[in-house]
Structure 1
Amino acid sequence: ARMDEALLLVRNELPAQGLRVAARSGSCHQCLYQFLAFVPPSNGSLRKPAAVAVMVDTQHPLTLLLNGSVGDRELCKIQYHFGEFGNYSLVVKTLSTSTKTVSCDLVINEGPINSYLPILFAFLVYAGILAVLIVGRLFMKIDPVRNWVYKKLNPRETDRLINSELGSPNTTDSVSSDATPRLWSPASRQRLRSLDTFRGLSLIIMVFVNYGGGKYWFFKHESWNGKVQLRQFVFIMGTSVSLSLSSMLRWGSSKRKVLGKILWRSFLLILLGIIVVNPNYCLGPLSWDNLRIPGVLQRLGFTYLVVATLELLFTRAGAESETLETPYPALQDILPFWPQWIFILMLEVIWLCLTFLLPVPGCPRGYLGPGGIGDYGNYPNCTGGAAGYIDRLLLGEKHIYQHPSSSVIYQTMMPYDPEGILGTINTIFMAFLGLQAGKIILFYKDQHKQIMSRFLIWSIVMGIISAILTKCSKEEGFIPINKNLWSISYVTTMSCFAFILLLLIYYLVDVKRLWSGAPFFYPGMNSILVYIGHEVFENYFPFKWKMQDSQSHAEHLTQNLTATTLWVIISYLLYRRRIFWKI
């Protein structure tokens, strides 16, 4: 038996005709039925009816369609969600020979296993670890215990590490390279732990999903439309850009010098991305003919280049501390930057025009589907519509991702890259929304109610836009939520959750100080190292090992959680040693 499958025995007790059995997944929108098996007629012998065993998918509900071989007449249609490793029988027989009424009865021969128990067990384990840490923290508030521990752990270093103010991102770089005197007070250099916590949380979720997520379908990338995962790394990158540039300019760095840093960092991100997505694993020289060009770091690098340059062009040192004379004081963090908004809106107009107006050979204009067997098989080679066409035209089919997530359920044959050219426009839009969050933090510094209320307003606005674009539907909206396309609705929905999540973390970590941000704070401080490290060492021990049962969710979940936890521990140890990899 294989993971996420069940055994179905189709028994045909019809004496005169065979059965054609086909199935369609409930997650496959407007898909063709896929042939499973042909069951011959019983030839009048009910003692030994014809039977055929097939494996059926258990990840999503299935619709089984049974047609008779005589006249290809539909005999019955059954919708059922099979359980993993279950054993089922589907008995097809005639109830009445006069009316030719056929019954299809599904019988459970052996019950399925509960494949979600490993998730519950893992939750209890991590909850237990958290409880132990909380109890330990409470004990540390007892003077004799705290004094004894500090004596063992070198109290000066511990206090300095815990209470140090690390400054804004890249502050160290700008100070070391410029001779300008320090003008800021210590309070102004305090780093918001909530931002690193948010970044670390997004990163750890990304690492866990990339490692396989226990092979559970709901942790995997969606085949096409729907499902939003908490992966707002792009959003928080935009927030960090705002704070970082403000920090460097206030420390006296020239815009020309800052632009040089932006160009260099973007180049490094893109270069590292190309190296990471083209692993060699000692198999000999890598062929230029199959080099994949797009990728996560490449997209982050280009997005950073555009958003940071855009912010650098229209900002000036100390602008957030000035009192602006505007008829709309509530919009003082938006109106002065109207050229940026015009630029972003122009990018979105370009995305809309290319997506819905660009002629794609053999495909309808404005096609947003997965191709393959989707849309009743009418457009098998139209995966991604204009987005896929642009990548294949400009980059070449061999230089983009060859195994898109839509290939499993929709059986697409065309290569499609989820980090392609057209989707990068909306990635820039999402980073720009994150940039707006950073401006809110700067313009309303230490005004916690103002900051949180604006986060809430932005979240509501993004949610309303998403509801309009999607019609609150997975498939029937104007622009469905789609990570593969990075559609506008995907960006607004992700940003809706990002503003809310940032609000909650900001409140807990920086306002009320009820949570230190641990353990997510530590990978958030070393995000580039953790991301590149988890990609490079993905197939090496102790992040991966040979399993005793590769068809077990429990073993996959154990391996993936272990690998993810190791990166949290590594980032914590690096934090303790004050090692931070910045580019």
Structure 2
Amino acid sequence: MKQRLVSLDVLRGFTMILMTIVNNPGDWEHVYAPLLHAEWHGCTPTDLVFPTFLFIVGVSVVLASPDQSSDGIILQRILTRTLRIFCLGLFLSFFSRIHFGGLEDAALLGFRLAITAIVVVTLFGNYDKNWQFWIVVIMFITMIILAFGGFKDFESVRIPGVLQRIAVVYLIVSLLYWRTGWVTQAIVGVAVLLIYWAIMTLIPVPGIGEPNLEKGTNLAAWLDNFLLPGHLWATSKTWDPEGILSTLPAVGTGIAGLLTGQLLRLDIVQSRKALYLLAGGLAGIIIGFLWNFVFPLNKALWTSSFVLYAAGWALLCLALLLYIIDIKGYGGWTTFFVMFGVNPMVVFFFSGILIRILNVVKVANPTNPSEQMNLVPYLYQYQIVPRFESPYNASLTYALLYLLLWSLILIVLYRRKLVFRV
């Protein structure tokens, strides 16, 4: 088994911690600005969370790759993991829409949890067996049929998503690493960024006119709505921040991680690696910032300038952590972050499922006992908000309490040395 790079686990853990906080405020109307995505163009610390995770996916493809395996086994592992991650993302969209007969309330929740248990057993764990691959294929095909087969419960289920994008990027960068060298990978990375820039700024938008980068009227939005009508982000309905066309430059983010992983495996002193990471990070931030003047930083569109800018910050953070932890040996403080870093899929998937479960549980409304309300708003409105003068502090406290809950869960997993792979 390969030795883990603690600095990478810490960076992944920090990313998951920040993701848990920004995804779970008590009140979306009262969130401190750094914990929100940019309204459209621009970049906040929150906008850097997802690209940093995708960057780490690329790094991990290198560091976790087997030294010797047959081509058939490698390909099967890549395809199986891709489908598992994609299916996990799809299931998050499906969970709240699952119905069976006339089941309601507790019975319906129990049925959904039973289905979730089957999904978890199928998608977490060993995936070297050929029969496991075909089970995942069947699960994927089943969900696609449910989404597009005219079934009322799933006719508007969201198809794109965070895990789905991770799956696609993982697939492409894994195949690149398997079959090409770093020079080819770098050329592909530069090419996808330039091609995406040209596509978004030179090709007219059907039915709209001139190329543009505005919300809902750009070419990426048109393609999302053309190929996946009714299956997009609920907030917009006509485009998706993890849409089809914008996944192309996201591959560039994964390739940046791929190249970084190969740098980390070089037989050179760690201090030189940290220096190279620092130089690459500064270059990415500067070039991305300058490109921003003609192709604005935009997380929802995943613009090419955003790819370089976000990768630059990821490189800088990794360089700093590599220097502090792996070179200087100051690692006594890292356990909390490593707990989150070694089980990222557990945190992402089950935190999403847990919120959905809690939103189904009903309690009496204190202001009108004859009515019921969902548990989550009850806890926030009646147990947290009254204790704070500032609604922003109340909202942040709710997110931190949810983080604390996950910290307690991960302490148990970490102490028992339980690491769940997808």
Query: Where on the TM-score scale, by shorter chain, does this alignment land: which range?
Result: 0.7 to 0.9
Seen in structure 2, the aligned counterparts of structure 1 residues 457 and 384 have a Cα distance that, compared at 3 Å, is farther
Q: Is the contact between residue 520 and residue 568 of structure 1 (CA under 8 Å) also seen in structure 2?
A: no
In the other structure, the counterpart of 2:381 is 547
Q: Is the contact between residue 156 and residue 231 of structure 2 (CA under 8 Å) also seen in structure 1?
A: yes
Structure 2 counterpart of 1:223, from 26, 29, 39: 39
* Amino acid paired to 2:95: P
Q: Which has the higher contact order (CA 8 A, sep 6+)?
A: 2
CA distance in 2, matches of 1:539, 1:559: 16
* Amino acid paired to 1:239: V
In the other structure, the counterpart of 1:391 is 224
What SS class does the counterpart of residue 301 from structure 2 fall into?
A: coil
In the other structure, the counterpart of 1:255 is 71
In the other structure, the counterpart of 1:466 is 288
Q: Deviations over 1:386-427 (max 9, x none)?
A: 11001111111x1111314xxxxxxxxx63210001111111
State the shift of 1:284 in Å: 6.0
What SS class does the counterpart of residue 350 from structure 1 fall into?
A: helix
Q: Is the contact between residue 324 and residue 331 of structure 2 (CA under 8 Å) also seen in structure 1?
A: yes
Q: Runs of 5+ in structure 2 lacking a partner?
A: 102-151, 360-374
CA distance in 2, matches of 1:528, 1:428: 20
State the shift of 1:211 in Å: 0.6
CA distance in 2, matches of 1:564, 1:356: 41
Q: Percent identity?
A: 29
Structure 2 counterpart of 1:453, from 259, 275, 293: 275
Structure 1 counterpart of 2:187, from 321, 342, 357: 342
Q: Deviations over 1:457-507 (max 9, x none)?
A: 11122122112212xxxxxx2011111101111111111110110011111
Q: Is the contact between residue 26 and residue 394 of structure 2 (CA under 8 Å) also seen in structure 1?
A: no
CA distance in 1, matches of 2:188, 2:251: 11
CA distance in 2, matches of 1:202, 1:515: 18
Structure 2 counterpart of 1:427, from 241, 250, 253: 250
1:241 aligns with 2:61: yes
Structure 1 counterpart of 2:214, from 360, 365, 369: 369
1:195 aligns with 2:8: yes
What SS class does the counterpart of residue 537 from structure 1 fall into?
A: helix
What SS class does the counterpart of residue 520 from structure 1 fall into?
A: helix
What SS class does the counterpart of residue 279 from structure 1 fall into?
A: helix
Q: Is the contact between residue 285 and residue 310 of structure 2 (CA under 8 Å) also seen in structure 1?
A: no
Q: Is the contact between residue 208 and residue 561 of structure 1 (CA under 8 Å) also seen in structure 2?
A: yes
Q: Runs of 5+ in structure 1 lacking a partner?
A: 1-166, 169-189, 315-335, 371-382, 405-413, 471-476
CA distance in 2, matches of 1:481, 1:267: 30
In the other structure, the counterpart of 2:395 is 556
Q: Is the contact between residue 347 and residue 425 of structure 1 (CA under 8 Å) also seen in structure 2?
A: yes
Give the total of aligned pairs. 342
In the other structure, the counterpart of 2:23 is 210
State the shift of 1:274 in Å: 0.7
Structure 2 counterpart of 1:532, from 349, 364, 378: 349
Q: Is the contact between residue 9 and residue 341 of structure 2 (CA under 8 Å) also seen in structure 1?
A: yes
Seen in structure 2, the aligned counterparts of structure 1 residues 281 and 568 have a Cα distance that, compared at 3 Å, is farther
State the shift of 1:351 in Å: 1.5
1:440 aligns with 2:243: no
1:579 aligns with 2:411: no
CA distance in 2, matches of 1:260, 1:238: 18
State the shift of 1:256 in Å: 2.3
CA distance in 2, matches of 1:468, 1:222: 18
Q: Is the contact between residue 444 and residue 450 of structure 1 (CA under 8 Å) also seen in structure 2?
A: no
In the other structure, the counterpart of 1:155 is none
Question: What TM-score comes out, normalization by structure 1 length?
Answer: 0.56
1:570 aligns with 2:409: yes
CA distance in 1, matches of 2:36, 2:300: 13
CA distance in 1, matches of 2:217, 2:335: 39
In the other structure, the counterpart of 2:118 is none
1:73-222 alignment runs, 5 A limit: 167-168=1-2, 190-212=3-25, 215-218=30-33, 219-222=35-38
Q: Determine which structure has the larger strand proportion and give its number.
A: 1
In the other structure, the counterpart of 2:234 is 402
State the shift of 1:553 in Å: 2.5
What SS class does the counterpart of residue 13 from structure 2 fall into?
A: helix
State the shift of 1:254 in Å: 1.7
What SS class does the counterpart of residue 167 from structure 2 fall into?
A: helix
In the other structure, the counterpart of 2:241 is 418
* Amino acid paired to 2:31: Y
CA distance in 2, matches of 1:369, 1:338: 35
CA distance in 2, matches of 1:569, 1:509: 24
Q: Is the contact between residue 267 and residue 301 of structure 1 (CA under 8 Å) also seen in structure 2?
A: yes
1:323-334 alignment runs, 5 A limit: none
Q: Is the contact between residue 236 and residue 434 of structure 1 (CA under 8 Å) also seen in structure 2?
A: yes
What SS class does the counterpart of residue 389 from structure 1 fall into?
A: helix
Question: What TM-score comes out, normalization by structure 2 length?
Answer: 0.76
Q: Deviations over 1:73-119 (max 9, x none)?
A: xxxxxxxxxxxxxxxxxxxxxxxxxxxxxxxxxxxxxxxxxxxxxxx
In the other structure, the counterpart of 2:362 is none
- Radius of gyration: which is bigger? 1
* Amino acid paired to 1:390: L
CA distance in 1, matches of 2:399, 2:214: 31
CA RMSD of aligned residues (A): 2.2
* Amino acid paired to 2:77: K
CA distance in 2, matches of 1:358, 1:575: 50
Q: Is the contact between residue 98 and residue 153 of structure 2 (CA under 8 Å) also seen in structure 1?
A: no
* Amino acid paired to 1:394: L
Structure 1 counterpart of 2:301, from 485, 502, 505: 485
CA distance in 1, matches of 2:165, 2:298: 17
In the other structure, the counterpart of 2:365 is none
In the other structure, the counterpart of 1:519 is 336
Q: Is the contact between residue 224 and residue 238 of structure 2 (CA under 8 Å) also seen in structure 1?
A: no
1:298 aligns with 2:137: no
CA distance in 1, matches of 2:244, 2:314: 24
* Amino acid paired to 2:238: P
Structure 2 counterpart of 1:272, from 74, 80, 88: 88
